[in-house]
Chains A and B, each alone.
Chain A
Amino acid sequence: MRRLTEPARQYFSQYGILVWIVVVGLVFSLLSRRFLDLHNLLNIVTQSSIIGILSVGMTLVIITGGGGIDLSVGSIVGISSVTMAMLIIPPSYFRDTASMLSLSVTTMTLVKAVGVALLVGTACGAVNGLFISRVGLPPFIATLGMMITARGVAAYVSAGMPTYGMPKPIVFLGQGRIGGIPLPILIMLVLGVIGYFVLTRTVFGASVIAIGGNRETAKLSGIRVKRILLIVYALNGLLAAVAGIVLTGYGNQAHPEAGALSELYAIGAVVVGGTSLMGGKGGIIGSLLGAILMAEVQNGINILNIPVAYMQPALGTLIVLAVMLDQWQKRRVVSE
């Protein structure tokens, strides 16, 4: 019997978070008949996909260790959202209604707008990377500075106002489906798979892990630490911009405050998923699962009509318990 359950237990000890997702799901489905239907489950994963996309890049950032973290992703979501919108909407429309609902947009305009938005995100990430790798600024501070600054620029660029009614292709990115699966989920999965592949099967990924494990050793073995750090943070910025565009399509609205606080949830998802803040080890899959768990809790609370004042404590407590369980599991496996 033990031999049969052994691989399962090994798997679960590695992905204790999966256990939690199931347990929480069971509890909610007992409390509400409306929880466990396909439509809601799809909703949960869709609602998790923005944090999920952010957590892919954040996993890489945190693995690089040495305090590696990126607090600016939320603001990059915001700035890419409004950059894209501002490049599409003509000033007169913006003045009158800030709505693009009746605007027809050429493909060229759209491509340019999205391209610039992605570029802005990457640039923000690259600036982070430069300050961290070349100037030696602590990642917390460098990305905190970027977080504040980018938010300010986003507010300035959009005059503090949201823009409604995105062009159809953008809305499709956020609300469309392919083969019955919502597009945000597909995008999250694709990016997750690419991230997993990069991290586990490429030299680049191995270098990232090595840097997180022991920076000095990595440098001595010829890894170009500074360049890799720059790339990791720039990539993170790019992914945050992608999340920003998907989010804009999902809500059909571009907003300077978009993504506020999402950096904390992304980091939370990554750590809950098993990646160590010390660096050197972790996994993309765990991070995605972490994002799903958080969306699940939020969803359940809304469905059960629990007052919002209890949502944050529930989420917070659950995250701590999830990590506790995970660590207890790991210790048990080690001692066996």
Chain B
Amino acid sequence: MSELKKRVLTGAVVAFAALLLLPLAYAGGANESAKKTSKPKVAVVVKTLTGDVFQLKMAEAARDRAIELGADATIYQAGGQTAVQKLVSILEDLIVQKVDIIVVSPLDSKAVVPAFAEAKKAGIVIVCMDQTAEGNDFVSFISTDNYKAAALGAEYAKKALNGKGNVLVVEGAPGSSVGDQRRDGFKETVVKGSDIKIVGSQSGFWQNDKALEAAQNMLQANPDVDLIFSCSDVMVGGILEAIKMAGKEGTIKVISFDGSKFGVNLILDGKIIADVAQFPVKIGKTAAETGIGVWNKSIKVESLARFIDVGTTLITPENAKSLVDSAF
């Protein structure tokens, strides 16, 4: 390519890049004018929006509820299940932006403590959802107890197996405390007072394909499995495929976690026997309401509960039909 052509091309690409940035000018402007009309600015921060429908729905619910209540709300994502450093940077940038309320799923309970302290100093109201943080700089933590919820699933498993059998667990990604709680809640409860053995427990990385391979390989190692517990609906599809490919369809019971529409439909289709439901939509909504309520003083911080448990339900073939529409 001749020098001239290259320079023209570079110039064109630069101009194009500049054009790409233009819409940002409008986005920026919109955010700025909002401040003047004293609508509260709400930032919803989660670890990732892709490949994690739970986080996606929770974030969207928080944002939509905030907008309903008259606020300006935007969603931010750190971009990964362990992207702690990016999450902290987002919090710092939000302080610069002078948002009024931060509704956040902190990804790790300890790493956000310094950033939370700065935000509190700047007068920002912080509400934690799904994952808690250490310290006192946030006004409330809204979630469900993942450990207790998984224990619910374990109790059902014990009943379904009549207290005896071999169980496999497909875990979440390493480093996910939510995943660890679910795994521990299930594993520790299911062996208590029963003859159930956990013969395999491997990570599915919250990914369908990785869960498929893990389940496939674990089934290979343990031909005599009665039940598989999946720490999330995002992995249960792959697990079912693995069971199918091992020729064991119908002989292995499956219990999952999340309570998404996908999971509930699987119960209705008879493919899994139970799904522990969390309610990301409820969590998001409550978090937004709490944040805005504290901000406009309609909720008194002193009377606010530290931990708001939005509750879990065990979805089974008995109640699945009535719950499918409200599932996320």
Say if the two chains contact directly (CB < 8 Å).
yes
Say yes or no: B202 contacts A302, CB within 8 Å: yes
Residues of A within 8 A of B220 (CB): 34, 37, 39-40, 43, 299, 303
Of B50, B56, B234, B262, the contact of A97 (CB 8 Å cutoff): B262
Question: Which single residue of chain A is at the shortest CB-CB distance from B215?
Answer: A302
- Residues A43 and B261 in contact, CB atoms below 8 Å apart: no
A96 at the interface (CB under 8 A from B): yes
Given the interface pairs A34-B221, A43-B220, A47-B213, the reply to whether A175 lies near B269 with Cβ below 8 Å is: no
Interface membership of chain A positions 66-96, coded 1 if the CB is closer than 8 angstroms to chain B and 0 otherwise: 0000000000000000000000000000001
Say whether A135 faces chain B, with CB atoms less than 8 Å apart.
Answer: yes
**Residues 43-69 of B at the A interface (beta carbon under 8 Å):** 49-51, 53, 56
A116 CB → nearest B CB, Å: 21
Chain B 90-104 against A: per-residue CB contact (8 Å), 1 yes, 0 no? Answer: 000000000000000
CB distance B221 to A303 under 8 Å? yes
Q: A43-B216, A97-B261, A135-B9 are in contact. Are A256 and B51 (CB under 8 A)?
A: yes
Partner of B237, one of A135, A253, A256, A304: A253
Q: Tell me, yes or no, whether A257 is within 8 Å of chain B by CB.
A: yes
- Residue of B50, B174, B222 ringed by the most chain A CB atoms within 10 A: B50
- At the interface, yes or no: B218 with Cβ under 8 Å from chain A? yes
Neighbouring B residues of A96 by C-beta, 8 Å: 261
Task: List chain A residues, Cβ under 8 A from B213.
Answer: 47, 298-299, 302
Q: Which stretch, B148-156, B188-196, B203-211, touches the partner chain A?
A: B203-211
Residues of chain B with a CB closer than 8 A to A164's CB? 237, 262
Contact: B202 with A162, CB < 8 Å? no
Q: How far is the CA of A332 from the CA of B218 in the complex (A)?
A: 40
Q: What interface size band does chain A fall in? A: 35 or more
Q: Contact: B221 with A160, CB < 8 Å?
A: no
Judge whether A15 is part of the interface by a CB distance below 8 angstroms: no
Tell me whether A99 and B202 are in contact (CB under 8 A): no
Interchain CB contact under 8 A, A162 and B6 = no
Quick one: given A97-B261, A160-B51, A162-B51, are A305 and B221 in contact (CB under 8 Å)? yes
Name the CB-closest residue of A to B221.
A303
Q: A134, A160, A175, A257: which has the most chain B beta carbons within 10 Å?
A: A160
| Bound complex: CA A300 to CA B75 (Å) | 41
Of B9, B203, B221, the contact of A304 (CB 8 Å cutoff): B221
Asked if B212 is at the interface (CB within 8 A of a chain A CB), the reply is yes
Instruction: Indicate which residue in A136, A155, A253, A299 contacts B50 across the interface (CB closer than 8 Å).
Output: A155
Query: A251–B244 Cα gap in the complex (Å)?
Result: 11
Is B245 part of the binding interface, using a Cβ–Cβ cutoff of 8 Å? yes
The answer to whether the Cβ of A252 comes within 8 Å of any Cβ in the partner chain is: yes
Known contacts A303-B218, A303-B221, A305-B218; A134 and B207 CB within 8 A of each other: no
Instruction: Report A-chain residues with C-beta under 8 Å of the C-beta of B222.
Output: 34
Q: Which residues of A contact B200 (CB under 8 A)?
A: 305
Interface set of B (CB-CB < 8 Å, partner A): 1, 6, 9, 49-51, 53, 56, 171, 174, 199-203, 207-209, 212-214, 216-218, 220-223, 234, 237-238, 241, 244-245, 261-262, 265, 269
Cβ-closest 9 pairs across A and B: A302-B217, A257-B51, A303-B221, A308-B203, A160-B50, A155-B50, A251-B209, A253-B208, A160-B49
